[in-house]
Amino acid sequence: MSAFQDRSALESKLVSLECHFTWDLDISRSKLLCLREALEDIGLEEGYCWLGHIYNLQGFIHHQLGLIEEARRFFCRAAEAFRQLRNTVSDEGPWLVVNYGNMAWLHLQIGEQTQTQKYLTKIEALKMEYPSPSLDDPHPEICAEKAWTLMKFGRDKKLLAVDYFQRAIRMQPDVVEWQTSRVLALVKAFMHHKENFDSDLLEKVKIAKEHDPENLYLSALYLEARAQKGTRIQDEARKLAQRVLRKPVSSYSGMKPLLRLYRIYVSMDEAIDLAEEALERHPNARYMKKCAAICYKRKVFSPNNNHLERSLIERAISLHKETIALYPHSSLKMQISLANIYAKSNRRANAEELFEELLRTELDPEEEQMVSSFYAKYLQYSQKERNKSITYYMRAAMIPHHSFYREDSIRRLEKISEEERQPVSRDIEDFLLHLSQ
């Protein structure tokens, strides 16, 4: 009973800690696996100032996946990274509070209660030595790490990240990386719903760029925001491309938003050329293959491309296959794109086979909605099998999970119902009525 009481007392203390285990993160297995691969793409050089945060989140991910020793290794690497990055006399500082909280949780869950207590004692000592400047908020270092972590999740979490970055900046306004990341979180939250930059957001991006001119990801977003307002940015984009090409491959380098900018506001062909040049410089970089595959997909499905060259189709298919193999846990959208490219190039047997394979895969609710929705569109538009498409729109809609794909499937069912005659229209109406109850 005493051991049970000791553990219960420790658990009550752990729940109040600020760390990854208490931040209400989406821990579905598919999300964790996707996020693990995304963090690997940041690269150590470009993500240097966030290295401790990257390792901490990787440690949490591996713990949730049941890989305890890997989790311990990442948490230890995080602590060492923080110590190396902070130019201070002491090895200890408030930036270690989250890491120590993670370690406390890990040790309790593997039955090492003495070690758990050791880390709780360390946390209390750090909080005493480095109190937060605000009575209402955690230390700014904690707010910033929480914000950076929340950025990696959905739109609502990104908006919460903006708030936590703002709290950190209010207490410690001289950290450029926090100001930049706050604006990036804000932009990504808006882009999640494909909203254009409004004047206020454009001004925030401009100010952040002036304070952080070496952040080329931010520079690409700033050019995109100006282009949306009608400014001619082609020459600036080409100059920026040369700077981005010289940087190490990383999801933080700015290549992905730059290629999007090229596709929309420079030219699709120049976007393809830029992606190929980057691949020529870094032929084994999986992130560049992913970026190039997206470019070719956009080219294939461009409204102006009614007569596609066979070589372009083959390159698109090849890049998609390579990318899918390199991202075994986060390539579902890429596999759907490949199926649609097959359909576009009249390889419908290949498209059908891939869609059916995906439908047999073990998916989480939103993934199943996504696959069902895209398969329904394929049936409706490529195969002209409207009745069969209705079955899969219904399959996506009946999964009780709120997502874009569910709402889109419902809207498409409503439209089909308006266009169809009885009894199909009545069947859809009955389905939608039952769904709303």
- Look at residues 245, 274, 250 and name the one whose alpha carbon lies nearest to residue 260: 274
pLDDT of residue 69: 97
pLDDT of residue 3: 53
Question: Is the Cβ–Cβ distance between 127 and 101 less than 8 Å?
Answer: no
How confident is the model at residue 194, as a pLDDT?
Answer: 61
Q: How far apart are CA 94 and CA 432, in angstroms?
A: 53
- Spell out the domains of the chain, with CATH numbers in brackets: 2-131 (1.25.40.10)
This prediction has a pTM of: 0.92
Cβ proximity of 323 and 334 under 8 Å: yes
Q: Angle formed by the axes of helices 199-211 and 176-191, to 10°?
A: 150
Task: Give the pLDDT confidence of 313-351 residue by residue, as tens digits.
Answer: 999 999 999 999 999 999 999 999 999 999 999 999 999
Task: Please give the C-alpha separations between residue 184 and each of 26, 153, 168, 202, 265, in angstroms, as whole numbers.
Answer: 21, 13, 15, 12, 21
Statement: residue 4 has pLDDT above 60: no
The three-class DSSP label of residue 420 is coil
Q: Are 115 and 105 in contact (CB under 8 A)?
A: no
Tell me what percent of the residues of the chain surpass a pLDDT of 70: 96
The model's pLDDT over 33-75, given as tens digits with 9 standing for 90+, comes to 999 999 999 987 766 889 999 999 999 999 999 999 999 999 9
Which long-range contacts link 49-55 to residues 24+ away (Cβ below 8 Å)? Answer: 49/85, 49/177, 50/148, 50/177, 51/78, 51/81, 51/85, 52/78, 52/79, 52/81, 52/82, 52/85, 52/95, 52/99, 52/145, 53/78, 53/145, 53/148, 53/149, 54/78, 55/81
Render pLDDT for 190-235 as a digit per residue (tens, 0 to 9). Answer: 876 666 788 889 999 999 999 999 999 999 999 999 999 999 999 9
Sign of the Cα torsion 187, 190, 195, 197 reads negative
Question: Where do we find the tokens 């086979």?
Answer: 353
Helix (H) or strand (E) segment spanning residue 34: helix 29-40
The residue-averaged pLDDT of 143-147 equals 98
Is residue 187's pLDDT more than 70? yes
Contact 147, 175 (CB under 8 A): no
Query: Which pLDDT score is estimated for 88?
Result: 66
| Total residue length of the chain | 437
For residue 252, the one-letter residue type is: Y
Angle between helices 155-171 and 140-150 (to 10 degrees): 160
SS3 249: coil
Who wins on pLDDT, 412 or 5?
412
Q: Which of 409, 398, 403 is nearest to 436 (CA)?
A: 398
CA distances from 5 to 12, 21, 88, 109, 120 (A): 11, 21, 40, 15, 17
- Residue predicted with more confidence, 36 or 10: 36
User: How many other β-carbons are positioned within 10 Å of the β-carbon of residue 411?
Assistant: 12
Residue 340's Cα: distance from chain center in Å?
Answer: 23
| Burial of residue 347, with CB atoms counted within 10 A of its CB: 0-12 exposed, 13-18 middle, 19 or more buried | middle
List Cβ neighbours of 432 (8 Å cut-off, separation of 6 or more). Answer: 397, 410, 413, 414, 417
CA-CA distance, 412 to 374, in Å (whole number)? 12
